[in-house]
Amino acid sequence: MKDILLWQTRHFIYNHFADTTRPPSVDETAAHFNIPTEEATEYYKELHNRHTFFLDLETLTVRMANPFSGIPTDFKVHANGKTYFANCAWDMLGIPAALHADAVIEAVCTESGEKVEIEIRDENLRSTNYDLRIHFPLPFARWYDDLVFT
Amino acid sequence: MLLFQSEAWIDKWCKRNNLPRGEVLTIDQVWELSKLWYHNRLSLEYHGRSAEQVAEVFREAGLKSEFWYV
């Protein structure tokens, strides 16, 4: 395993998310770097083990490359003419922060189900509801115990 | 991390799910934290953070309670 290619793989996956709103398959990554699929598979597994991103259980599909989600969620972020899904309420703000872009975020209150819209423009946040709160259920030391729950 | 319209809705959610209340931040606090946490995520040079670097981000964001201990 080549360390340079490991980090280039991480970079490719994140920027593929940013460019297309979805993660590349392991075959797409192998083709991009002109390497065997088996080698790209090793990089995917190693990056998963290092908590760089997270694969769906027993697959090579990227489920979370925070702040990006590989599956639809209640946290929809419109930015750069695209629509992304975020993993959680923190990550919905993480997407415009990572992209350094303006964004309109559509989300819902977890308990009431009411729709909420948030706008990021020129790094400033605007919302029709400034009582909005984000609940962190677990202390930082336990975030990786169960990432989906966190 | 979950979004709520107000603190009252968090209390209802915790009660309904029989879960303890964790840490609650305003949307503005989380936006400031997001900028510190994610600003370099697309960079080739980003290889993750050490525990010290995580603690520094939390300090910069003003998150100093035991909840944020690394």
Would you list the DSSP string of B34-51?
HHHHHTTTTSTT-----H
| Residue B18 within a domain | no
Which chain A positions have a beta carbon within 8 Å of B4's beta carbon? 109-112, 132-135
What is the residue extent of each domain of chain A? 3-56, 69-127
| Residue B47 within a domain | yes
**A contact test, residue of B3, B25, B30, B64 with most A CBs within 10 A:** B3
Q: Which of B46, B5, B2 is nearest to B22 (CA)?
A: B2
Q: Which fold has domain A3-56?
A: Arc Repressor Mutant, subunit A (1.10.10)
Class of domain A69-127: alpha beta
| Residue B16 within a domain | no
Mean pLDDT of chain A: 94
pLDDT tens by residue, A10-51: 999 999 999 999 999 999 999 999 999 999 999 999 999 999
State the smallest CA–CA distance between residue B69 and chain A in angstroms: 7
Which chain A positions have a beta carbon within 8 Å of B9's beta carbon? 109-112, 133
In one-letter notation, the amino acid at residue B55 is: A
Quote the domain boundaries for residue B66: 25-70
This prediction's pTM: 0.94
Report the number of distinct structural domains present in chain B: 1
H or E element that contains B30: helix B27-38
| Residue B53 within a domain | yes
Q: What percent of chain A has pLDDT over 90?
A: 85
- Polymer length in residues for chain A: 150
Q: What is the mean pLDDT of residues A118-130?
A: 91
- Confidence category of residue A99, pLDDT binned at 50, 70, 90: very high
| Residue B40 within a domain | yes
3-state helix, strand, coil split of chain B in percent (to 5) is 50, 10, 40
